[in-house]
Amino acid sequence: MYKLLLSVVAVLLLSNCGLPASERVYKVSGPTMGTLYHISWVDQQDRTSQVKSRIDLRLQDINKIMSTYDSTSELSRINQSTMWPVQQRISTDLSDVLAKALQVNQQSSGAFDITVGPLVNLWGFGPDGSPDRVPEDDLLEEVLTSVGSDVVTLSGQSLFISEKRYLDLSAIAKGWAVDDISLLLESYGIENYLVEIGGEIKTAGVKPQKVSWKVAIERPDVHLQQTAHRVFSPGNRALATSGDYRNFFVENGIRYSHTISPVNGFPVEHELASVTVVNNSAAMADAWATALNVAGPADGMRLAEALELGVYMIVRDQHGNLSELTSTTFNKWFPEFLDQIP
């Protein structure tokens, strides 16, 4: 009997992969922001249903604030204003994400611009569109005049927009939500976790037995979806990737992607296949990934060096051959990563 009990205990321990019985990885996932979230954390007890319902409620709140897909969100109500200029007090969450967006707008010399919404919609990448063709020249010219963050001023929670604008936080809201949900986990005393929303990721601590969280950077290939190109451990940091290979349409052999240059109003077109930004903040990583995607490989890498950003780029030449570039800060943080690059 005693022997039997011992072997049952042994089997139980083995079935938990040899971890101390008290500590294991718990996982939850679900839909949000037109995409999916996947969250894992290390815990000594199963609190998944309690934590998941808090996560879902918080994500609903965030959508109610910053989604352009919800016509009743705080952001949509500003976008629907009929009287311009607009001056109003906004929530702390909206002012926080807007402040970060305006900072990246300035530092990227306008490459990242949340007022690009009308162009996104014109090209069919917005809430009501289906992207399939290049818009007429004069329409493009006209829409370009309603783009530009220079008319947006934020002072604490006071927002002033001097001319009609349509704000689109799609390129920063997912990252912002990753930061927010990370804080929510920390409020439960959870220190070891991986939070991912639509590809924007933050990791902290380690898995049981001090195994680090590993993240794959996708091969930028439309035909090979979700194939790992490189794998690395971000440590206590966030990362976001912006690429030309997922959301796009083709006309006359040209590929038009959903990242749009606020300067000429055209989807970006260059040799940059994907850019990954590593940062302490997932919101900043998210926004910078889009900003550097607009800037392109040369200007983007110059900016990354000037601002000491952790950046990894995959460049595709005319023949479809891939090459890789990393910034000095990225190399400093991930010296072992370079060993993977041939």
Among 73, 149, 203, 290, contact with ligand ADP (rule: CB under 6 A)? 290
Question: Is 218 a residue that touches ligand ADP (CB under 6 A)?
Answer: no
**Residue closer to ligand ADP, measured from CB, 55 or 114:** 114
Question: Is 289 a residue that touches Mg ion (CB under 5 A)?
Answer: yes
Please identify which residue in the block is written with the tokens 């910053």.
66
Question: Is 289 a residue that touches ligand ADP (CB under 6 A)?
Answer: yes
**Residue closer to Mg ion, measured from CB, 192 or 290:** 290
Question: Is 168 a residue that touches Mg ion (CB under 5 A)?
Answer: no
Residues 6 or more apart whose Cβ sits within 8 Å of residue 147: 113, 115, 116, 118, 119, 165, 262, 265
E strand or H helix that includes residue 283: helix 282-295
Q: Please give, one letter per residue, the 3-state secondary structure of 1-61.
A: CHHHHHHHHHHHHHHCCCCCCCCEEEEEEEEECCEEEEEEEEECCCCHHHHHHHHHHHHHH
Question: Is 171 a residue that touches Mg ion (CB under 5 A)?
Answer: yes
Among 37, 41, 112, 176, contact with ligand ADP (rule: CB under 6 A)? 112
C-alpha span between 286 and 16 (Å, rounded): 35
With 0-12 CB in 10 A as exposed, 13-18 as middle and 19+ as buried, what is 4?
Answer: exposed
**Residue closer to ligand ADP, measured from CB, 39 or 114:** 114
Question: What is the C-alpha radius of gyration for the chain, rounded to an integer number of angstroms?
Answer: 22
Tokens at 1, concatenated: 């009997």
**Residue closer to ligand ADP, measured from CB, 105 or 326:** 105
Tokens at 219, concatenated: 């091969």
H helices of 147-197, in order, are 173-187
Tell me the CA end-to-end span of the chain in Å, nearest whole number.
Answer: 58
**Residue closer to ligand ADP, measured from CB, 116 or 204:** 116
Among 32, 63, 242, 279, contact with ligand ADP (rule: CB under 6 A)? 242
Min CB(202)–ligand ADP separation in Å:
15
Question: Which option in ligand ADP, Mg ion, none does residue 125 bind, with CB closer than 5 to 8 A by kind?
Answer: ligand ADP
Residue 39 exposure: Cα atoms within 13 Å on the Cβ side:
31
Among 73-81, 165-173, 308-316, 319-327, which window interacts with ligand ADP (CB under 6 A)? 165-173
Among 55, 159, 167, 168, contact with ligand ADP (rule: CB under 6 A)? 168
Residues 6 or more apart whose Cβ sits within 8 Å of residue 198: 33, 34, 35, 36, 37, 174
- Burial of 244-257, coded b for 16+ CB within 10 Å and e otherwise, reads bbeebbeeeeeebb
Among 5-13, 186-194, 287-295, 302-310, which window interacts with ligand ADP (CB under 6 A)? 287-295
**Residue closer to Mg ion, measured from CB, 59 or 197:** 197
Question: Which option in ligand ADP, Mg ion, none does residue 168 bind, with CB closer than 5 to 8 A by kind?
Answer: ligand ADP
C-alpha span between 148 and 284 (Å, rounded): 20
Among 39-47, 146-154, 167-175, 303-311, which window interacts with ligand ADP (CB under 6 A)? 167-175
Among 69-77, 114-122, 230-238, 277-285, which window interacts with ligand ADP (CB under 6 A)? 114-122
Question: Is 149 a residue that touches ligand ADP (CB under 6 A)?
Answer: no
Question: Which option in ligand ADP, Mg ion, none does residue 294 bind, with CB closer than 5 to 8 A by kind?
Answer: ligand ADP
Q: Tell me 134's DSSP state.
A: P
Min CB(286)–Mg ion separation in Å:
4
Q: Which residues bind ligand ADP (CB under 6 A)?
A: 112-114, 116, 120, 125, 168, 170-171, 242-243, 258-260, 262, 286, 289-290, 293-294
